């Protein structure tokens, strides 16, 4: 099947590569010169495990090509995916300028029947606006060409996007056109050989499903962060509570981790956009308002605890940060809690040494480059080449992103590197009692009486922390 994809960002590039890997012929339109140059040179402009190899394989097999020629891209595929960014506008709504511009491009260049697929995360009613934009361009050309617009929201997790696309737990298609629905079923059939997980519904329901899913995930995390506050007051351990909750099949285990807040390119903007959509309809989504408020408070928690521990001024203090990306497996800094932590520490007079496996002073990712460059230029902030270099002579370590390599470090070396053996664990990756036994002053989130474990037990060289979180 011939497919066109407009946009070689995170969603567009993963979509292009995975569809090409199933034997489809894919042409991806990218108008950003820097990003297009990286792609044509055999690289990828984002950090996503396995993506670069997949792109290279399919380019070499001539199933995947990148271009800035809109006419070539639109003319290539019967299915044309719109996979461009929808950043949050100042009022919290989704900015659809790029989506509507892509729709206009399709209308200007299409010359036969097209199924236009909204892959971008968009509010309810966007498919109708895309349809209008295409129809307007066709009218300007006096062209009578049939087309359909369907919604096919993505459900990709950064760090596991290829697995999510290749082995989806569900595929949502919003369509009111029988021919378009049949084409979408044919496209996704190779991904659904074990069982049919494709759900066809009306367009509005498909558009709302994406926002509802992300809003629910954000709600679960904020709820656990609220429970963590209670756990600390009553002497309970939120990690034990999490295990008890997750064992209930009605609740499940996912997105139940208390921590220093959620971020990224999806949850923050999608929660805002859903609230904005509801507000425009005269509906106040009070639960989502609380979800946002809890997250904003949680993102300040690590620094508040540092101020409580070291005093109102942190001048002369040095902090090590492990993790900058908003989650493991990506170099995406958009809405990352680390940025807020760093800014607050610098404002309080501290200096910051940070290490992240996917982010450094030379990182060229288009998803994280802008804040990364800002960080590199901030006085008092520096990148470290490895975790122990970040910890060197620091008054405390803050764990902000739960990368695997942080879970069982050389604790002897870590304690020796730190000026003071103080750890603020923003992701609860360590066990409080064992940290105390190793000689650390440990501050977790929601760990009850153990959440601020003091060093005091005899030092036991060679003891390692057992960690069972996924």
The catalytic residue positions are: 266
Nearest alpha-carbon partner for 413 in 386, 446, 378:
386
Sign of the torsion angle spanned by Cα atoms 459, 242, 264, 343: negative
What's the CA gap between 21 and 162, in Å, rounded?
A: 11
- 93 Cβ contact list (under 8 Å, min separation 6): 123, 272, 273, 276, 277, 280
Largest CA distance in the chain: 83
Question: Three-class SS of residue 418?
Answer: coil
191: left (phi over 0), alpha (psi -120 to 50) or beta: alpha
What's the CA gap between 243 and 141, in Å, rounded?
A: 61
Nearest alpha-carbon partner for 345 in 371, 382, 370:
382
What's the CA gap between 21 and 323, in Å, rounded?
A: 32
- Which helix (DSSP H) or strand (DSSP E) does residue 340 occupy? helix 337-347
* CB-count exposure of residue 286 (10 Å: 0-12, 13-18, 19+): exposed
Q: Which two tokens stand for residue 114?
A: 């097209």
331 within 8 A of 375, measured Cβ to Cβ: no
331 within 8 A of 325, measured Cβ to Cβ: yes
Question: Three-class SS of residue 285?
Answer: coil
What's the CA gap between 407 and 350, in Å, rounded?
A: 26
Phi, psi of 441 (to 5 degrees): -90, 115
Sign of the torsion angle spanned by Cα atoms 157, 160, 164, 169: negative
Q: Which two tokens stand for residue 382?
A: 């520096």
Question: Three-class SS of residue 442?
Answer: strand
What's the CA gap between 433 and 449, in Å, rounded?
A: 10
What's the CA gap between 288 and 205, in Å, rounded?
A: 19
């Amino acid at each position: 099947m011939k497919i066109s994809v407009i946009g070689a960002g995170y969603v567009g590039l993963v979509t292009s590569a995975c569809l090409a890997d199933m034997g489809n012929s894919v042409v991806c339109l990218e108008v950003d010169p820097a990003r297009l140059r990286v792609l044509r040179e055999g690289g990828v402009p984002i950090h996503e495990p396995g993506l670069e190899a997949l792109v290279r394989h399919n380019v070499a097999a001539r199933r995947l090509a990148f271009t800035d020629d809109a006419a070539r891209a639109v003319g290539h595929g019967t299915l044309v995916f719109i996979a461009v960014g929808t950043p949050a506008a100042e009022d919290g709504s989704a900015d659809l300028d790029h989506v509507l511009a892509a729709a206009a491009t399709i209308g200007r260049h299409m010359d036969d029947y097209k199924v236009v697929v909204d892959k971008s995360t968009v509010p309810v009613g966007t498919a109708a606006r895309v349809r209008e934009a295409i129809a307007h361009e066709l009218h300007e050309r006096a062209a009578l060409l049939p087309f359909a617009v369907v919604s096919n929201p993505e459900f990709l997790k950064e760090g596991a996007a290829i697995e999510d696309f290749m082995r989806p737990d569900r595929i949502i298609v919003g369509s009111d056109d029988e021919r378009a629905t049949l084409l979408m079923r044919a496209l996704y059939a190779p991904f659904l050989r074990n069982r049919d997980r494709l759900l066809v519904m009306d367009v509005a329901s498909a558009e709302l499903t994406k926002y509802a899913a992300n809003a629910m995930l954000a709600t679960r995390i904020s709820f656990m962060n609220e429970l963590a506050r209670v756990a600390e007051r009553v002497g309970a351990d939120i990690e034990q509570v999490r295990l008890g909750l997750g064992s209930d099949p009605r609740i499940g285990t996912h997105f139940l981790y208390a921590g220093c807040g959620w971020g990224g390119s999806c949850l923050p903007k999608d929660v805002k956009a859903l609230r904005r959509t509801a507000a425009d309809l005269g509906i106040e989504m009070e639960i989502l308002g609380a979800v946002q408020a809890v997250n904003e408070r949680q993102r300040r928690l690590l620094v508040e605890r540092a101020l409580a521990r070291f005093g109102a001024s942190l001048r002369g203090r040095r902090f090590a940060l492990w993790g900058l990306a908003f989650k493991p497996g990506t170099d995406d800094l958009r809405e990352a809690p680390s940025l807020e932590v760093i800014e607050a520490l610098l404002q309080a007079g501290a200096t910051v040494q940070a290490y992240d496996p996917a982010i450094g002073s030379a990182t060229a990712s288009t998803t994280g480059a802008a804040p990364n460059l800002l960080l590199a230029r901030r006085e008092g902030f520096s990148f470290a080449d490895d975790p122990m270099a970040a910890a060197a002579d620091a008054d405390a370590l803050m764990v902000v992103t739960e990368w695997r390599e942080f879970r069982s470090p050389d604790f002897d070396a870590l304690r020796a590197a730190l000026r003071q053996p103080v750890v603020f664990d923003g992701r609860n990756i360590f066990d409080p009692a064992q940290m105390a036994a190793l000689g650390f002053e440990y501050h977790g989130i929601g760990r009850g009486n153990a959440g601020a474990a003091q060093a005091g037990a005899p030092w036991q060289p060679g003891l390692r922390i057992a960690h069972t979180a996924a």
